[in-house]
Chains A and B, each alone.
Chain A
């Protein structure tokens, strides 16, 4: 559990982060969402002390991060950055193995762990001997994630991890990301400016603006219970798609009809996409849209 208490940071006397507090629970994915310059990256970097806060406290499992050696703190936190941050003079294998080498793991153990990770991240063996500049952007990002995962840290910080990728690669990685069981047991804080990514991956979202947190909540709470006009307006553009995405099969209570064909955790957007693709199930399509509209009415009431 990560607890952030009244933390502030100024750059050149201008507040970048202004008295913010939030909690990231065990095993949840918390998304820091906002436009550029809102202070989300600064907030993230204060957690592994790439930036030191001016005031306030950050606790990990109740322990103040400033009361331990900074290198030890960072060893316990996986970190993925936007431009992969791979070392250009190391091969892919050496890049992934940085932390185990620093921790003096046995080299057999390192090798088998690398093997395990690259398969989970859909990388091929022959990539290991190459240098970062010889890889595609998507491959680089996967290597960056492998490097952050190798030591099995309970916490993972991700700074716009998919920001530099094209749309198709990104949505591929998104779906892999959700199914990757390496991530299931981790507390993850993910920074993004991409609203649909936030809704796709986040269990909860912290919406930030001008160094302050405007609202923290689940995607549903953000859409159906916005605390003010800023929140409402922030999602106005994508609202319809977002609503379909946050509604699950189980929410519509159409068990009899739907559950034999669909996973109850699947979202309505994907269900309709599939039905739309084969035009035969027009009736089912209509049934679902009707049910969705009923459900929506209830939420907005």
Chain B
């Protein structure tokens, strides 16, 4: 039975409360730092106008860096946790604060400035008694913009284990759980509106009232920030970082707690960032994927799942029956890849894209050529087939392979829609015919999309074939979607550690890990 949003909110109220506090804490600490840096910079460039263009340009460029990339740059320097999140938020908040301080001060009437000078004010007196008070409404408007930007961007803090409402939002997207998405998104939107209105109220106050509360504001900011750190409890000496998806899955953290009785007190991190964080030693255990290229690249090790909680994740294209009928040549073309890619081959291919930074197109072509599957593209003349992919390297490679196979063996046009955010986004795109097929994993199909009861799960995850049979039948019944034949590799969830540390601690399996944490 579907749980209602209200039930979810009531059930998770404690978590929501903590996430809201974390969210506000991050926003306001970053805002405080941004003001501490941006205000003096704005004053500086209003004094030395020739610095204005370069400084505003740099702040503008920083603003355009995609947040996930910015967080990626931060990890080697600041590690995992609130520090990189705060620095990233600070960077996004700088531009409006610098620019409005500059505009505000430059906009003070020349007559007033001249009057102040003629009365014998020094430069500092002019600044503090005349320019800043008169520029205050414009400066506060800049802080308001920055605050609202920060409330929005702070959802990304969950990528680097800094908490906040992003944990629910991104967890919900990965888990196909709309209630969870809304439980994060609605408070986030409300926070943005409330923060905006509170600062708007301050903006309308008389200058002299603002002057009175000027000292209180940083104190409030620091208090909210303080609460944040209070909510972040420190875990064991082995630091675990799991993806939001893994956190909420029965075959993820929930399974670890239930079957292995292993509680690692994990932080939530983004899957694009966690390998790097593990490699850099900022984390010790992550929830990885067994075929990820970075396991080879960073010399990591997959812990043996000795109690078999991670179900098989064999990859196969999923496609609507009616699409197969519409394009009769399609199925046999897609089947060309069946059984061709083993675990080790997939890891190798992933290694090439993730670590050697080769483009997926090149990696895909090399593989097809080596296996005599590559043909020069035919002249496309009929309708377009749209291939989807999720937002990680392996899916990009598979999408490229399918594109080349279709172009070489049929006369269909091909369009790839890669980088769809998560399982839910991909599957929804398939259901509403925005894409024609994408490679999905049997385990995901079972646990995220079908979500049968525990008994069924236990039964069908016993073997890879059973899982495949089950999703094959259920998808046909429920959605009219076919699972084509598996490509061969099993990209299951896995707990991943640095090989060196695992050797040192003599940890080979998840049970070893559990015993190690209990010894402590």
* Complex CA–CA separation, A101 to B114 (angstroms): 18
B119 touching A99 by the CB < 8 A rule?
yes
Give the contacts of A79-97 with B (CB-CB under 8 A). Answer: 79, 81, 83, 85-89
* Complex CA–CA separation, A100 to B435 (angstroms): 76
Q: Interface 1/0s, chain B 98-120, versus A by CB < 8 A? A: 00000000000001101111111
* Complex CA–CA separation, A89 to B112 (angstroms): 11
B117 touching A87 by the CB < 8 A rule?
no
Indicate if B121 sits at the interface (CB-CB under 8 A): yes
A88 touching B117 by the CB < 8 A rule?
no
Q: Give the number of chain A interface residues (Cβ < 8 Å).
A: 20
Indicate if A71 sits at the interface (CB-CB under 8 A): yes
Closest beta carbon of chain B to A10's beta carbon, Å: 20
| Among A72, A77, A81, A98: residue with most chain B CB under 10 A | A98
* Complex CA–CA separation, A81 to B115 (angstroms): 8
* Given A71-B120, A79-B119, A88:B114 Cβ within 8 A: no
Give the contacts of A54-86 with B (CB-CB under 8 A). Answer: 71-75, 77, 79, 81, 83, 85-86
* Complex CA–CA separation, A34 to B7 (angstroms): 83
* Complex CA–CA separation, A182 to B26 (angstroms): 60
Indicate if B122 sits at the interface (CB-CB under 8 A): yes
Give the contacts of A96-118 with B (CB-CB under 8 A). Answer: 98-99, 102
Indicate if B134 sits at the interface (CB-CB under 8 A): yes
Residues from chain B with Cβ under 8 Å of A88 in the complex: 112, 134
Closest beta carbon of chain B to A140's beta carbon, Å: 12
* Given A83-B111, A102-B125, A48:B133 Cβ within 8 A: no
* Complex CA–CA separation, A73 to B120 (angstroms): 8
Q: Interface 1/0s, chain A 119-161, versus B by CB < 8 A? A: 0000000000000000000000000000100000000000000
Closest beta carbon of chain A to B339's beta carbon, Å: 78
* Complex CA–CA separation, A77 to B119 (angstroms): 8
Indicate if A241 sits at the interface (CB-CB under 8 A): no
Residues from chain B with Cβ under 8 Å of A99 in the complex: 119-120
Cβ-neighbour of B115 out of A71, A77, A86, A102 (below 8 A)? A86
Indicate if A275 sits at the interface (CB-CB under 8 A): no
B120 touching A74 by the CB < 8 A rule?
yes
Indicate if B207 sits at the interface (CB-CB under 8 A): yes
Q: What's the dominant secondary structure at chain B's contact region?
A: helix
Closest beta carbon of chain B to A168's beta carbon, Å: 25
B119 touching A147 by the CB < 8 A rule?
yes
Indicate if B429 sits at the interface (CB-CB under 8 A): no
Q: What's the dominant secondary structure at chain A's contact region?
A: mixed
Indicate if A236 sits at the interface (CB-CB under 8 A): no
Indicate if B130 sits at the interface (CB-CB under 8 A): yes
* Complex CA–CA separation, A48 to B118 (angstroms): 7
* Complex CA–CA separation, A98 to B125 (angstroms): 11
Residues from chain B with Cβ under 8 Å of A147 in the complex: 119
* Complex CA–CA separation, A48 to B116 (angstroms): 12
Residues from chain B with Cβ under 8 Å of A81 in the complex: 111, 114-115, 118
**Chain B residue at minimum C-beta to C-beta distance from A99:** B119
A-B contact pairs, 10 of them (CB 8 A): A50-B118, A74-B119, A74-B120, A79-B115, A81-B115, A85-B114, A87-B112, A88-B112, A89-B207, A89-B208
**Beyond the given A71-B120, A75-B119, could you list 18 further A-B residue pairs with CB under 8 A, ordered by the A residue number?**
A48-B118, A74-B118, A79-B118, A81-B111, A81-B115, A81-B118, A85-B118, A87-B115, A87-B116, A87-B130, A89-B134, A89-B207, A98-B119, A98-B121, A99-B120, A102-B120, A102-B121, A102-B125
Interface residues of A (CB under 8 A from B): 48, 50, 71-75, 77, 79, 81, 83, 85-89, 98-99, 102, 147
